[in-house]
Amino acid sequence: MNAIPAFSQLVKENDDHLRLIFDDKQLWKQFSLKTNIDPVGLCGHTDFSDVHGIQFATQQAIQRSQILVERICNASTNGSEEMRKVVKNLDRLSDTLCSVIDLAEFIRNAHPDNSIQDSVHQAYSDLCSYMNTLNTDTRIHKILSEVLADNQLVKHMDEEEYRSAMVLLHDFEKSGIHLPSKKREEFIHLSDLIIHLGRNFIQQNPRAIDTVKIPVSELTGIPIHQTHVKNGFAYIPTDSPQAQTILKYAKNEQVRKQVYQSIYSATEESIDTLESLMKTRAQLATLVGNSSFAELHLQDKMAKNPGNVDTFLRTLLKHQEPLFRKDMNLLQSSKQRELKNSTTSTIFAWDRDYYMHLCNQIEFEKHQKHMPYFTVGSVIQGLSRLFNHLYGVRFEYSSMRPGESWNDEVRKLDVVCEDEGKIGTIYCDLFMRQGKTSHAAHYTIRTSRRVDDDDDHNDVRFAFPGRNVDESRFFPPITQPAERIRGKDGLYQLPIIALTCDFAQGTGNQPSFLSMYDVETLFHEMGHAMHSMLGRTDFHNVAGTRCASDFVELPSVLMEHFVSHPEVMSLFTNETVSSPQLDLKQGKLFNGIELNAQILMALVDQSYHSSLANSDSFSSVKEWYRLQDSVGLFPSVPETMWPVQFNHLFGYASNYYSYLLDRTLARRVWETNFKENPLSRVKGQAFREGVLKWGGSRDPWECIASVLSEEDASKIIKGDEEAMKTVGDWGVDVNKN
């Protein structure tokens, strides 16, 4: 009789396999697919197996949502017990729609089949359109307002339920639900126009100059390829990598200036589109009683209002001034040496990349022998070990079921907690391939939610009170797999997320190797993943990363601090790492210049979304030049207009400061809790209990204050202007450790 392996031995065997399924292609093929079980749809969704199934899932989600809408709106008719279930049923409504929308959003960015992409894109569009109708349904808003106005109902809510209700109420109010019908129609029109203008802003070619003509003699030794050459001149597309390469390598300053002015030229149409987008947003904000779009958009964020954001950015700008000067002095010295000038040289925008490259090349050669590389598998293994130290959570590889994956290179991990068992699933789509989006991203496919009290068998009866309705003519309720978690009451649907990266495949039998930048990227995305896994709330609407957008990056940015700490690095190198091996990471130059550019972009975002956009005299060009000359490190360049290429002006919409805010907060959390001992279970558990487990169901300032010193906590707990000033004065640790 064979002895049963000890638990520690099973963990060790899983730990070894965890690395090998990413690094050993043959082993992955052996474990990648279970063929002896029934097929499922993509990411385990029953209906996402083909085009027809996706269409059915969309129709089912809309119909079941409409039944829930009627049940919610008839709650007062059906008695006090139904009124107590309004928030729960609204959360079910949101989860019903998001169970298709979120998966569709991911699949349309990752799936190689055009027919599937088209189908999920249509599903996404149809469901978003339906959600827009719900956001303007005054009946839903009325019943939710009645619930929140009833003290007897509110006092029975726990913190999660109340927070979820308030999030929903604020979403309604920001959608103009309180407006008279004609103005509400105007709100919908403006919202649609903003989407149209935003799409044009992102998709248009904004450059007035599409090709720059350079003498071939000026390009000697510059690593550019596939360049059109005629009569001794090279014709360089201004939107090409070759143009950026010339800025980095060309010795002739006039060539760099010509290329810079061409790259950042702007058509009148692109400027008009940008300004129309800003003015339309300002008009929408005015319609609902706000002085600016930033004021409207920031109400439910940590920052609360534009004034607090400005205080934070200006304080941070002042705090980091010595670093900015240090970086600029280095560039000036480099230019002065090359030109053999006796006086200080002015650094222009077209000089930036060239002299930064010269200085970085010297630094790289100095430290090149210490540059570490790691395999994808070893980093995943190290992350699992790190999370086990911090939270008692580890990864276990899991075989794919037929139909579950969209590509053979996708790996599946179960997230297992030592106290609770399996708590979620991560799909890892980490390797580059044609047609796949190139940016790293974290996608929520399904959130945590308690489901045993859904009461879906009563949906139709309460949706149509007093009527004899044949339920067989409706689609069946949507059911998700549910599991019991040790230590918690009830049944829960477990979170599912997908991570995408763009790592190069290993050649032959070699694994894929990562640079330190790649490792940092993977740590960052896994920070989001842990927030999704451990932020398990009873309500879908506040689970995991469904929190304030200027708080959501904190757990992921915090993870970047762990990367180059010797104790953490030893987890994925399996050997002690000495400080000299980390010199390149810690000695990276010009972080100050990059930080200043981030602050400048955040201030541009704030300015364009301020009350300035309400004025007929608003000029995005003049405002850009003003901010460049007052805040930026390089003088403004006439006939250029970089903001028309700043796509985040559409997606972030007065929220671009968020990453900077979370960087400063993450630095303080790191220094307070993990800098001395990054493997501390005590500190890790405190961060899990104080921050991660709440998702969006607790005030973010309270979450952060719970893991800081008493003195720091007292300064920020109110989340007011003084809190934002304090955080700005903490500054950004540009070298992480």
- Please say which residue of 202, 230, 248 terminates a domain: 202
Which of 172-176, 416-420, 583-587, 641-645: highest mean pLDDT?
A: 641-645
Do 166 and 81 fall within a single domain?
Answer: yes
Number of folded domains that form the chain: 3
The yes-or-no verdict on residue 98 having pLDDT over 80 is: yes
Do 171 and 229 fall within a single domain?
Answer: no
- More confident site: 484 or 665: 665
Of 441, 151, 395, 179, which is closest to residue 285 (Cα–Cα)?
Answer: 179
Residues 6+ apart with CB under 8 A from 638: none
**CB atoms closer than 10 angstroms to residue 187:** 20
- Token representation of residue 359: 């200085």
Do 624 and 694 fall within a single domain?
Answer: yes
**For 268-298, what is each residue's pLDDT tens digit?**
999 999 999 999 999 999 999 999 999 999 9
Side-chain half-sphere of 37: how many Cα atoms within 13 Å? Answer: 11
Radius of gyration of the chain (CA): 27
- The CA distances from residue 621 to 60, 271, 423, 457, in Å, are 48, 8, 51, 59
Task: Give ∠ CA 590-594-218 in degrees, rounded to 5.
Answer: 70
Do 222 and 174 fall within a single domain?
Answer: no
Residues 43, 426: Cα–Cα separation, whole Å? 10
Position 551 in a domain: no
Average pLDDT value over all residues in the chain: 90
**pTM, entire model:** 0.91
**For 110-157, what is each residue's pLDDT tens digit?**
999 999 999 998 999 899 888 888 988 999 999 999 999 999 999 999
- Token representation of residue 393: 């959570």
Question: Residue 127's Cα: distance from chain center in Å?
Answer: 22
Do 243 and 182 fall within a single domain?
Answer: no
* pLDDT value for 365: 54
Task: Convert 433-450 to b/e letters by CB count within 10 Å (16 or more is b).
Answer: eeebeeebbbbbbbbbbb
**For 205-263, what is each residue's pLDDT tens digit?**
999 999 999 999 999 888 887 778 899 999 999 999 899 999 999 999 999 999 999 99
The yes-or-no verdict on residue 459 having pLDDT over 80 is: yes
| CATH code (residue 188) | 1.20.1050.40
Position 24 in a domain: no
- Please say which residue of 184, 202, 220 terminates a domain: 202
Which of 22-26, 572-576, 642-646: highest mean pLDDT?
A: 642-646
* pLDDT value for 586: 42
Position 116 in a domain: yes
The yes-or-no verdict on residue 587 having pLDDT over 70 is: no
Residues 267, 680: Cα–Cα separation, whole Å? 55
Do 253 and 188 fall within a single domain?
Answer: no
**CB atoms closer than 10 angstroms to residue 136:** 19
* pLDDT value for 11: 52
The 483-484 sheet, strands edge to edge: 449-450, 491-493, 483-484
How buried is residue 419: exposed, middle or buried, by Cβ count under 10 Å (0-12/13-18/19+)? exposed
Q: Are 427 and 410 in contact (CB under 8 A)?
A: yes
Position 623 in a domain: yes
Position 636 in a domain: yes
* pLDDT value for 16: 83
- Token representation of residue 619: 């000029």
- More confident site: 485 or 137: 137
Once rounded to an integer, what is the mean pLDDT over residues 642-671?
A: 95
Please identify which residue in the block is written with the tokens 């979620």: 424
* pLDDT value for 4: 40
Of 488, 548, 484, which is closest to residue 697 (Cα–Cα)?
Answer: 548
DSSP 569-618: HHHHHSS---GGGGHHHHT---HHHHHHHHHHHHHHHHHHTSGGGGSTT-
Once rounded to an integer, what is the mean pLDDT over residues 39-44?
A: 91
- Token representation of residue 613: 């956009």
Once rounded to an integer, what is the mean pLDDT over residues 337-356?
A: 90
* pLDDT value for 613: 97
Helical H runs in 646-733?
648-651, 658-673, 681-690, 700-705, 710-716, 721-730
Residues 6+ apart with CB under 8 A from 134: 65, 69, 93, 140
Helical H runs in 410-476?
459-463
Of 596, 698, 601, which is closest to residue 643 (Cα–Cα)?
Answer: 601
Q: Are 555 and 390 in contact (CB under 8 A)?
A: no
DSSP state of 264: T
> Coil, strand or helix: which one is 29?
helix
* pLDDT value for 234: 93
Do 635 and 695 fall within a single domain?
Answer: yes
Do 650 and 592 fall within a single domain?
Answer: yes
The yes-or-no verdict on residue 329 having pLDDT over 70 is: yes
Once rounded to an integer, what is the mean pLDDT over residues 352-361?
A: 90
* pLDDT value for 268: 97
Do 224 and 129 fall within a single domain?
Answer: no
Rounded to the nearest 10 degrees, how much is the dihedral formed by the CA atoms of 620, 621, 622, 628?
100
Phi (first) and psi of residue 415, to 5 degrees: -100, 120
* pLDDT value for 372: 60
Domain of residue 157, residue span: 42-202
The verdict on whether 525 is a catalytic residue reads: yes
% of the chain beyond a pLDDT of 90:
72
Residues 20, 378: Cα–Cα separation, whole Å? 8
Helical H runs in 457-575?
459-463, 516-534, 554-562, 566-573
* pLDDT value for 553: 95
Where does the pLDDT of residue 10 fall: very low under 50, low under 70, confident under 90, or very high at 90 and above?
very low
Q: Which listed residue (404, 525, 553, 560) is catalytic? A: 525
**For 307-319, what is each residue's pLDDT tens digit?**
999 999 999 999 9
- Please say which residue of 167, 183, 202 terminates a domain: 202
| CATH code (residue 626) | 1.10.1370.10
Please identify which residue in the block is written with the tokens 């638990």: 7
Please identify which residue in the block is written with the tokens 């104080």: 690
DSSP state of 396: E
Side-chain half-sphere of 26: how many Cα atoms within 13 Å? Answer: 3
Task: Convert 272-288 to b/e letters by CB count within 10 Å (16 or more is b).
Answer: ebbbbbbbbbbbbbbbb
Q: Are 535 and 494 in contact (CB under 8 A)?
A: no
Where does the pLDDT of residue 12 fall: very low under 50, low under 70, confident under 90, or very high at 90 and above?
low
Please identify which residue in the block is written with the tokens 């994808």: 376
Do 352 and 232 fall within a single domain?
Answer: no
Do 115 and 141 fall within a single domain?
Answer: yes
Do 250 and 109 fall within a single domain?
Answer: no
Beta strands 513-514 and 374-375 are antiparallel
Position 562 in a domain: no
Position 721 in a domain: yes
**For 500-511, what is each residue's pLDDT tens digit?**
999 988 887 888
**For 540-552, what is each residue's pLDDT tens digit?**
999 999 999 999 9
* pLDDT value for 521: 95
Amino acid identity of residue 457, one-letter, is: H
* pLDDT value for 5: 44
Where does the pLDDT of residue 534 fall: very low under 50, low under 70, confident under 90, or very high at 90 and above?
very high
Position 696 in a domain: yes
* pLDDT value for 574: 67
